[in-house]
Structure 1
Amino acid sequence: MVMGTRQLESLVKERYRSGTLTIKDALQIFDRLLVAKSPAPSIISFNQLFTALTHMKNSNNHYATVFALFNRLTQPKIVSASPSTCTYCILISYCIRINQPRLGLVFLGRFIKGGQRAEPNIFNPLLKGLCSQNRISEAISIVLNKMPKLGCTPNVISYNTVLDGLCKEGEVSKAFNLFDRMLSGGIAPDVVTYNSLIDGLCKEGAISKAFSLFERMLSEGIVPNVITYSTLINGLCKEGDTEKAEDLLSYMISEGLQPDVVTYNTLVDGLCKKGQLGKAVEMLQSMVSKGHDPDVVTYTTIIDALCKEGETENAEELLCNMISRGTNPDVQTYSTLIDGLCKLDKLEKAKKLLNEMVSKGILLDTVTCTIIVDALCKKGEPDRAEKLLFDMIDQGATPNLITYTSVINGYSKLGCWKELIRVFKHMVDRGFLPDEVTYGSMMDSLCKQGQIKEAQKLLDLMVRGGIKPDVVSYRILLIGYANYGTIDDMMKILDRMQLNHVAPDLSTYTSVLKAYAKNKKVDQIMCVLTRMKQEGVKPDIVASAPILELLLEMGRHEDAKVVMDQTSGKTND
């Protein structure tokens, strides 16, 4: 059945309001509206189609279609409806939602070129997009220059958008300059204006100025909202003034405003950070008694504070209470409690909690698993840690460099270098490039096992991989040569350090001097001491004692005097 213009328009209106318009339907109706002539369709129907298309699921993927339809609508041969200000608003807003303010500027250019009367609502979405991309200076230029030039006076939304952008960037003084321009232009601020400025001041730590602005807001008859009070409460908590924050909460309630969960969470967090855990728990109980439902953030904040105080049993009890009240813990909640249990060496409880988390369908994450892996390794059970690492991979979680390094460190401390190499190879196979800490741990394990040549190969591999060995890596190798290798190779390592611009520290030189003293290599000792003097490293009594004992035993009193003078800081230039 052929449908007339008014029937098509009614169909668009009905499907638009019901939200049942598909992309296929929209394209078909658009084609039919485009050629309708008697009577010509209203631009309202086209705008409804554009609105539907730009708000559909996965609308980010439809931008080429949307822009093509707009181009068809604006073709010179089309005698149908012309794009209105509303059309451009829809398309500019869409460009901002898909994070394409550049395209929004293009549509703005088309709008201005079309000679239509500019209104603030055509600019406001664009201002929001520019601010979201930290292009604040462009947004300011539009408000102060482009809009007035086109005969368009920015409204309170225009100013609020840019003021908020400036405050979020920490440009509070510039925000107040713009605020003054806003007032001088006769634009009355609203609660949103003051909320942005108060938030900016609070983030700067200028809490007294924030309260002065709050008082000014009240004097002008602007009623604060929940956001205003929550922002000030957050600012007070960051300053550690939880007592005043509690007073403000009470005042807010007395003024007839009910705090939301964000307000309560802000204060709970502030109390926990101040060490006022008892008050935080009381706040939680107060929330419940007043009919406010604590969320996962509320519970997790208090669980974290309890764990930091070592009160893991109370934290476990709170977790059970949370679940019984219908609030589901998330991975952060479990991770927090697991970390607390691991720090108290309650590994079996931590592992049980991990299994509970998985059984609830919460996916294992890297942080949670790494916490238990590290705890097992510190307890001397790297084999169990390695098993957990592979279980983690089997369940779809991705270990990171820290996870692998924890297992490598665990095996390193036990001298299990074969197991260490196995984990190292697995790590590299999965595309993780070890850092100097991982290499250092492996080199230390190999050196303790007398595998000096293997440790040297690792150092070479480290360099080839683009990682510059630090002084700790070289010291590990030097100690390895001192204990198991050729003592003469130690000087070669020192030379290599110098060549690679790595300055040996006192600890490194002390290790070398002790090794030479033990092997009675006096000439090498004096050579190292000369090098230390040149580099401005003064030996301490720990380094000097075995050397002096050896020199006096061998009757080299002049050399002993040189060592004593160098240790005390005297010069013999």
Structure 2
Amino acid sequence: MTRASLNTLNHGLVKSANFHGNFVSKLPFSSASSSSLQTIENSQSKPLINPLYNLLPETQNPNKIVDLISSSLKQNSSQLTLLKNDIKPLIPHLGSHEITRVLLRFQSDSFSASTFFNWVKNDLGIKPSSHNYCYIVHILTWSKNFPLAMELLCELIDFVKDCSNCEDVFESLVLCSKDCNFDPVVFDMLIKGYVRKGMVKEGIKTFRNVLEVGHLPSVITCNCLLNGLLRLNFIDQCWLVYEEMGRVGIHPNTHTFNILTNVFCKDGNADKVDEFLERMEEEGFDPDLVTYNTLISSYCRKGKLNDAFYLYRIMYRRGVVPDLVSYTALMSGLCKERRVREAHQLFHRMVHRGLDPDIVSYNTLISGYCKEGRMQESKYLMHEMIGNGISPDSFTCRVLVEGYAKQGRLVSALNLVVELRRFRVSVSSDIYDFLMVSLCHEDRPFAAKSLLERISQDGYLPKPDIYNELIQSFCRCNSVTDALLLKAEMLCKRIKVDLVAYKALICSSCRIGKAREAESLMEEMLKSDILPDPQICRELIQCYCKQSDMGKAESILSYFAKEFQIFDTKSYNILVRTYTESGDMDKLMGLQDRMMKLGFAPNSLTCKYVINGLLKAKRLNNHKLLGSQMQ
């Protein structure tokens, strides 16, 4: 672009930029040469013009800092490293104004300009201003160094976003364009930069600003903006951008229509697709493979299989050959409707037409068979897949293992894992987690522990949750010794034992009558700063009541109330019921007085136990009286 054409564009920008408010009155576009560098208004520091500075040596004269840097750059960019030490006293004087002057001296040498910019930013640790960024972006864009220009433009977007002055990047780029070589493609890059950063609203604003100053973004830029809007589900804005493209004369391409087809599908307007396809053809574009695949996938997701297969047949008539994506989408739709046999037939048709199935198409069928509980067919497909040189992925393994588990065939699932390992298929840790948890839930902790020992040799590290499941399962099976060994293993591996594990161990110990061991575990738990809960209190009291150690049971209840503010009525009622069963009402009344002082309040069940106790005591007294009279 010539200087004359740039000036013409600049005048056009000023004329049509009335939307900028106060910014418009400051636009300095003119036919003046860009050599008038002293008129730059956007510097953070004013030029130093004190004549007394000229009495100093060059390396100490702030007025010479731009010349010194420029001279070093012209000699060799590596000279900047040496220059840093020579001009150390002058570095505080290297402000935004001076950085801009150096950049403009090298606007036709983008390599030197970017070397200097990086030196300032990285070696000197000076934070460039937004205008410094604008100048280097303009220089790089003019030199067609688009990757680096985009990288710095994204840095500028982040820089402005983090500032509190609400500066507009577009306005800054327009303002700085008067002093340097300028290519309007920078505005396209700005829109793409906003989309890349997920700032799509800013991208739309810039798109409209660019149109207002008379520049037409490329259709590629518009497609990028449409894609960004689609990803964020801004459906209405997609149509507004498309309408604006038509209004200003930006001609869409096939990619534009494919994006809009996705918009149709997301918007739920698949019924209007025929109308849209007609409009597409009127614009001179025939629907391509991407268009059809997008529509077929959408119809299949919504359960409109008749419409999907209609499009599948239309593709052949229009000379568009379905690919793996087309067939896989149709198979997935059939599997969702539990028509796996038809999906498998379509799979064979696909292979017959020369398409090699991939991992996705195999997984679609395997998943469909697993959901129907047809594990034999699923496993056959897995073997076929391996035979064709396609290694099962984590999805394949997970679906098959869960399929066997749903049928209660965990042994088959374990055998499958062994088989997969033999085929050198990597089995993910979450599958092992699933198997061990499933075994534990079936109260088969020894099988789970055996599996853990085998896979630990391959580097598998169980999470604390897996240890908890194992400990709980061992405790449910009253295998407390094995559970304690697991706890010791956790401590050796520096895995913190939590309340879940301690509670399982304590409750299990109480159930088998090992109250002292349970108390010891609770003491260990308290030393680890883990507080007990009401269930632990309940189990301990019940254990001591079974052993007829009522004094210990009462002391446990008092201890939990005083130390942890746990007033568990169920625990209290266990004591009450034990006393009433013995018919010792004097001790029961004494217990009630002591517990009420602690803060326990009897409930309806407590009253029921007391009444039953009184009736039982009365029967015992009557029995004793009758016995004495008979004597």
TM range (shorter): 0.5 to 0.7
Q: Does structure 1 residue 90 correspond to structure 2 residue 144?
A: no
Partner residue in 1 for 2:332: 269
Q: Secondary structure at the match of 2:440?
A: helix
- Out of 255, 261, 266, the residue aligned to residue 198 of structure 1 is 261
State the shift of 1:210 in Å. Answer: 5.8
Paired with 1:149 and 1:87, the residues of 2 have a C-alpha distance of 25
Partner residue in 2 for 1:138: 202
Paired with 2:492 and 2:188, the residues of 1 have a C-alpha distance of 51
Residue deviations 1:331-368 (CA, integer Å, cap 9, x gap): 33223222323343444443333233333333332112
State the shift of 1:295 in Å. Answer: 1.0
Structure 2 CA distance for partners of 1:455 and 1:265, relative to 1, 3 Å? farther
Residue deviations 1:313-348 (CA, integer Å, cap 9, x gap): 111111112222332222332232223233434444
State the shift of 1:433 in Å. Answer: 5.1
Preserved contact between residue 207 and residue 236 of structure 1 (Cα < 8 Å)? yes
Paired with 1:142 and 1:435, the residues of 2 have a C-alpha distance of 54
Amino acid at match of 1:157: I
Structure 2 CA distance for partners of 1:321 and 1:91, relative to 1, 3 Å? same
Question: Which piece of structure 1 moves more, 400-409 or 108-117?
Answer: 108-117
Q: Secondary structure at the match of 1:358?
A: helix
Alignment of 1:300-449 (within 5 A): 300-427=363-490, 430=493, 438=501, 440-449=503-512
Paired with 2:489 and 2:385, the residues of 1 have a C-alpha distance of 40
State the shift of 1:296 in Å. Answer: 0.9
State the shift of 1:394 in Å. Answer: 2.6
Partner residue in 2 for 1:560: none
Paired with 1:373 and 1:143, the residues of 2 have a C-alpha distance of 55
Paired with 2:118 and 2:242, the residues of 1 have a C-alpha distance of 39
TM-score where L is the length of structure 1: 0.67
Q: Does structure 1 residue 481 correspond to structure 2 residue 541?
A: yes
Partner residue in 2 for 1:167: 230
Q: Secondary structure at the match of 1:329?
A: coil
Alignment of 1:458-497 (within 5 A): 460=526, 464=529, 474-475=534-535, 477-484=537-544, 486-488=552-554, 489-490=556-557, 493=560
State the shift of 1:432 in Å. Answer: 5.0
Preserved contact between residue 479 and residue 512 of structure 1 (Cα < 8 Å)? no
Unaligned runs of 5+ in 2: 1-73, 79-106, 123-138, 162-168, 546-551, 581-587, 617-631
State the shift of 1:445 in Å. Answer: 3.4
Structure 2 CA distance for partners of 1:264 and 1:423, relative to 1, 3 Å? farther
Is the radius of gyration larger for structure 1 or structure 2?
A: 2
State the shift of 1:154 in Å. Answer: 1.4
Partner residue in 2 for 1:179: 242
Structure 2 CA distance for partners of 1:398 and 1:512, relative to 1, 3 Å? same
Amino acid at match of 2:519: K
Paired with 1:99 and 1:324, the residues of 2 have a C-alpha distance of 50
Structure 2 CA distance for partners of 1:553 and 1:310, relative to 1, 3 Å? same
Partner residue in 1 for 2:346: 283
State the shift of 1:112 in Å. Answer: 4.4
TM-score where L is the length of structure 2: 0.61
Alignment of 1:503-514 (within 5 A): 513=573
Residue deviations 1:271-320 (CA, integer Å, cap 9, x gap): 22332222222222222122222211221222223223222111111111
State the shift of 1:170 in Å. Answer: 1.9
Amino acid at match of 2:387: S
Amino acid at match of 1:296: I
Q: Does structure 1 residue 554 correspond to structure 2 residue 554?
A: no
Amino acid at match of 1:140: I
Preserved contact between residue 569 and residue 600 of structure 2 (Cα < 8 Å)? no
Amino acid at match of 2:202: E
Partner residue in 1 for 2:316: 253
State the shift of 1:372 in Å. Answer: 2.4
Partner residue in 1 for 2:622: none
- Out of 307, 314, 320, the residue aligned to residue 244 of structure 1 is 307
Percent of aligned pairs sharing the same letter: 23
Paired with 1:448 and 1:64, the residues of 2 have a C-alpha distance of 71
Paired with 2:506 and 2:431, the residues of 1 have a C-alpha distance of 28
Paired with 1:239 and 1:91, the residues of 2 have a C-alpha distance of 44
Paired with 1:103 and 1:362, the residues of 2 have a C-alpha distance of 47
State the shift of 1:247 in Å. Answer: 2.6
Paired with 1:446 and 1:198, the residues of 2 have a C-alpha distance of 65
Q: Greater relative contact order (Cα 8 A, min sep 6): structure 1 or 2?
A: 2
Structure 2 CA distance for partners of 1:83 and 1:131, relative to 1, 3 Å? closer
Paired with 2:520 and 2:272, the residues of 1 have a C-alpha distance of 64
Unaligned runs of 5+ in 1: 1-30, 36-42, 51-62, 69-81, 534-538, 557-573
Partner residue in 1 for 2:519: 453
Paired with 2:491 and 2:191, the residues of 1 have a C-alpha distance of 47
Give the RMSD, CA atoms, in angstroms.
Answer: 4.7
Paired with 1:461 and 1:216, the residues of 2 have a C-alpha distance of 75
Paired with 1:226 and 1:44, the residues of 2 have a C-alpha distance of 45
Paired with 1:208 and 1:99, the residues of 2 have a C-alpha distance of 43
State the shift of 1:389 in Å. Answer: 2.1
Paired with 2:272 and 2:602, the residues of 1 have a C-alpha distance of 56
State the shift of 1:213 in Å. Answer: 4.1
Structure 2 CA distance for partners of 1:384 and 1:99, relative to 1, 3 Å? farther
Amino acid at match of 1:261: L
Alignment of 1:524-539 (within 5 A): none
Partner residue in 1 for 2:577: 517
Q: Secondary structure at the match of 1:357?
A: helix
Paired with 1:203 and 1:314, the residues of 2 have a C-alpha distance of 35
Residue deviations 1:497-543 (CA, integer Å, cap 9, x gap): 8x59xxx9xxx86676466435436886997999698xxxxx8xxxx
Q: Secondary structure at the match of 1:140?
A: helix
Paired with 2:497 and 2:189, the residues of 1 have a C-alpha distance of 46
Paired with 1:123 and 1:434, the residues of 2 have a C-alpha distance of 58
Q: Does structure 1 residue 116 correspond to structure 2 residue 173?
A: no
State the shift of 1:87 in Å. Answer: 3.0
Paired with 2:156 and 2:455, the residues of 1 have a C-alpha distance of 39
Paired residue total: 469
Preserved contact between residue 300 and residue 333 of structure 2 (Cα < 8 Å)? yes
Q: Secondary structure at the match of 2:303?
A: coil
Structure 2 CA distance for partners of 1:316 and 1:218, relative to 1, 3 Å? same
Amino acid at match of 1:344: Q
Paired with 2:318 and 2:519, the residues of 1 have a C-alpha distance of 76
State the shift of 1:157 in Å. Answer: 1.6
Residue deviations 1:530-572 (CA, integer Å, cap 9, x gap): 9698xxxxx8xxxx5x96475256259xxxxxxxxxxxxxxxx
State the shift of 1:369 in Å. Answer: 1.4
State the shift of 1:255 in Å. Answer: 2.4
Preserved contact between residue 205 and residue 239 of structure 1 (Cα < 8 Å)? no
Q: Secondary structure at the match of 1:116?
A: coil
Partner residue in 1 for 2:294: 231
